[in-house]
Chains A and B, each alone.
Chain A
Amino acid sequence: MAEAKTFTNNLLTLELRENNNSINIRWTGKSVDREPAKFITPILVDAIRKSSDHDKRVTLDFRELTYMNSSTITPIIKTLERAKRGKTRVTVTYLKSLKWQDVIFSALEIFRTKDGRVEIKGS
């Protein structure tokens, strides 16, 4: 059974949908806060914990995000680094046709694992 939660802070909304196999976090709006990690990190940490406990793939879907400041990149890459070192399965999806997304998220290929556990997908 799918469970949905919506978290909003200023101009950013994270919509979390969880089912038996996966946890999908859809990012919409803009992330422009001075300290965005205060809002984002607990949500990501909780998702990763659930992913580990129940063997679910976490998808971070950025395709509808219109802007994020560099402070927003920090909690994302820390999550990916921890996923890479651990056993969590994480997928990052972004819009390849949007140049800023392509530039930023394609650089996250450095976190990709050979076994596909951590994957970065431009669509």
Chain B
Amino acid sequence: MSPSRKKDSSNSRRRSFIKDGKNDRALRNGASEPFIVRERSATKRSMKLTLKPNWEEIEKVRNSSSEFFRSHGFHGDAVNALTMVISELIENGIKYGNFKAPGNKVILTIHIGSRVVTVEVVNPVDETAHNHLKRLDRTIQWIRGYQDPFQAYTERIRAVSKKPLRDEESGLGLVRIAYEGKSILDFFVGDDNILNVSAVSILEEDIRR
């Protein structure tokens, strides 16, 4: 599927926990429960959630993620920002994923590193997502063109505000992640048509209570 961006091979830490094949199996096999906490690592610095592509699941993920961050001592503002990042990525996953097969799922992985928090959302896509992937690629490149994500955010707001009222597409989610979530976005599509979108947030010193 094109466009697809391959993983950055220089980022071995990131690669080590995003592409282990488990995601693919879980995406395909699914499970009977509506919402499952699939895994917490031994150190409890990672959490993986598998969810059905139902909009109602997002609020449950928000609650689980908030609890996870709070349990690691993150203060309210940081929890809000990171939970927003997760919500926006999962919304996109549900909107543009391919869930025709009953077992297809969305997988969220959160990893708290010493200096960064990495959020990844993985879901299957098909040829109907082509335009979305092109837009995703274009938007991420566009955001990277700004030194300050605030400028990208306000420019996008200006553009969206001039659209007709009936046009509901915002296109604000990714730029909001970059600006409010202070995150660096990336994505790739695997050979098996699994889309992986990641947001890496650099931890500020005062992010914990």
A107 CA to B152 CA, complexed, in Å: 11
Question: Across the interface, do B59 and A32 meet the contact criterion of CB distance under 8 Å?
Answer: yes
> Counting chain B CB atoms within 10 Å of each CB, which of A37, A77, A108 scores highest?
A77
Check if A77 sits within 8 Å of B157, measured CB to CB.
yes
Q: How far is the CA of A45 from the CA of B84 in the complex (A)?
A: 27
A contact residues around B88 at 8 Å (CB): 69-70
A74 CB contacts on chain B under 8 angstroms: 160, 168-170, 172
Render B167-182 as a binary contact track against A, CB cut-off 8 A, 1 for contact. 0111011001001100
Q: In the complex, what distance in Å separates the CA atom of A108 from the CA atom of B157?
A: 8
Q: Does B131 contact A (CB under 8 A)?
A: no
A116 to B: closest C-beta gap in Å: 19
Checking A32, A75, A111 against B58 with a beta-carbon cut-off of 8 angstroms, the contacting residue is A32
- Please tell me if the beta carbons of B157 and A67 are within 8 angstroms of each other in the complex: no
On whether the beta carbons of A69 and B91 are closer than 8 Å, the reply is yes
Q: Given A30, A34, A45, A108, which contacts B165 in the complex, CB threshold below 8 Å?
A: A45
Contact status B150-A73, CB under 8 Å: no
A101's nearest neighbour on chain B, judged by CB, is B80
What is the size, in residues, of chain B's interface with A at 8 Å between Cβ atoms? Answer: 31
* Residues 40-98 of A at the B interface (beta carbon under 8 Å): 41, 45, 67, 69-71, 73-75, 77-78, 80-81, 98
Residues of B contacting A: mostly: helix
A78 and B170 alpha carbons, distance in the complex (Å): 10
- A100 interface residue (CB < 8 Å to B): yes
A71 to B173 alpha-carbon distance, docked (Å): 8
Residues on the B chain within 8 Å of A78, using CB: 160-161, 163, 165
A82 to chain B, nearest CB (A): 8
Whole-angstrom distance between the alpha carbons of A37 and B160 in the complex? 13
A90 to chain B, nearest CB (A): 13
Q: List 15 A-B contacts (CB under 8 A).
A: A30-B59, A32-B59, A32-B62, A33-B55, A37-B165, A67-B80, A71-B173, A73-B170, A75-B165, A80-B161, A98-B80, A100-B80, A103-B179, A104-B180, A107-B154
Other 14 A-B pairs with CB < 8 A, given A71-B170, A100-B180, A110-B157:
A11-B59, A34-B55, A34-B91, A37-B168, A41-B165, A69-B87, A71-B168, A74-B168, A75-B165, A78-B160, A81-B162, A99-B81, A100-B77, A100-B84
